[in-house]
């Protein structure tokens, strides 16, 4: 009888050891997950900051701001035509040195960011401030040339587009 009790005690001791090891593993897993959360906290906060903003407040890339200005000058001339979009994409591919897919993505993001504007000229101040802070005088000259090309993409430059350029 005492042999059977010794076997049960040994099994019980092994069971307790296995249970404690599994609890330690589970605790280490929880600590690892918490460390991952802490490590990702700055990235998560930046994302939440951007997610809570809308429209032009999201824009922080000068190429995206330039795309918004290019789309704005096309909208100022009336409905944005296929020629306008092609001119914008072509200028972005040439001047920004991006591929066609990235140019299309920039154009789409610019359209989304500026979609809430009732007047295309409303976004000029914010975008030009962002661009002026980050671009060199040579790059600003290139942007002005890009705006002129897009304004004349459909064959004419309207008075509203002249005002936008000024």
DSSP characters for 65-93? HHHHHHHHHHHHTSSPPHHHHHHHHHHHH
Residue ending a domain, among 11, 31, 52, is 52
User: Does pLDDT of 56 surpass 70?
Assistant: no
Q: How many domains does the chain have?
A: 2
Q: Using pLDDT thresholds of 50, 70 and 90, give the confidence band for residue 17.
A: very high
Q: Using pLDDT thresholds of 50, 70 and 90, give the confidence band for residue 109.
A: confident
User: Does pLDDT of 55 surpass 70?
Assistant: no
Q: Looking at the structure, tell me whether residues 98 and 160 fall in a common domain.
A: yes
Q: Looking at the structure, tell me whether residues 89 and 114 fall in a common domain.
A: yes
Average confidence (pLDDT) over 31-60: 76
User: Does pLDDT of 50 surpass 70?
Assistant: no
Sign for the pseudo-dihedral over CA of 46, 51, 56, 59? positive
Q: Looking at the structure, tell me whether residues 129 and 116 fall in a common domain.
A: yes
Contact 150, 87 (CB under 8 A): yes
DSSP classification of residue 53: -
Q: Looking at the structure, tell me whether residues 60 and 48 fall in a common domain.
A: no
User: Does pLDDT of 21 surpass 90?
Assistant: yes
Q: Looking at the structure, tell me whether residues 77 and 153 fall in a common domain.
A: yes
Separation of CA 103 from chain center: 14
Q: Looking at the structure, tell me whether residues 40 and 4 fall in a common domain.
A: yes
Residue ending a domain, among 30, 52, 74, is 52
Segments forming the whole domain that contains residue 3:
1-52
Q: Using pLDDT thresholds of 50, 70 and 90, give the confidence band for residue 57.
A: low
Closest C-alpha among 157, 139, 160 to residue 149: 157
| pTM for the structure as a whole | 0.63
Q: What is the pLDDT of residue 20?
A: 94
> How far is the C-alpha of 44 from the C-alpha of 96, rounded, in Å?
29
Q: Looking at the structure, tell me whether residues 47 and 63 fall in a common domain.
A: no
Q: Looking at the structure, tell me whether residues 11 and 77 fall in a common domain.
A: no
Q: Looking at the structure, tell me whether residues 26 and 62 fall in a common domain.
A: no
More confident residue, 120 or 59: 59
Please name the residues in contact with 63: beta carbons below 8 A apart, sequence gap of 6 or more.
92, 96, 98, 106
> How far is the C-alpha of 50 from the C-alpha of 105, rounded, in Å?
18
User: Does pLDDT of 52 surpass 60?
Assistant: no
Average confidence (pLDDT) over 126-149: 80
Mean of all residue pLDDT scores within the chain: 81
């Amino acid at each position: 009888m005492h042999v059977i009790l010794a076997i049960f005690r040994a099994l019980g001791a092994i069971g307790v050891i296995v249970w404690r090891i599994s609890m330690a593993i589970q605790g280490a897993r929880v600590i690892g997950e918490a460390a991952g959360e802490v490590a990702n906290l700055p990235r998560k906060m930046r994302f939440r900051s951007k997610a809570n903003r809308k429209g032009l407040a999201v824009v922080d890339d000068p190429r995206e701001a330039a795309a918004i200005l290019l789309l704005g000058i096309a909208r100022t001339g009336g409905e944005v035509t296929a020629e306008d979009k092609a001119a914008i994409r072509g200028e972005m591919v040439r001047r920004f040195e991006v591929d066609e897919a990235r140019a299309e993505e920039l154009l789409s993001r610019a359209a989304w960011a500026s979609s809430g504007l009732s007047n295309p000229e409303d976004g000029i101040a914010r975008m030009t401030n962002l661009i002026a802070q980050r671009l060199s005088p040579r790059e600003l000259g290139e942007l002005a040339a890009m705006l002129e090309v897009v304004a004349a993409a459909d064959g004419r430059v309207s008075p509203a587009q002249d005002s936008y350029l000024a």
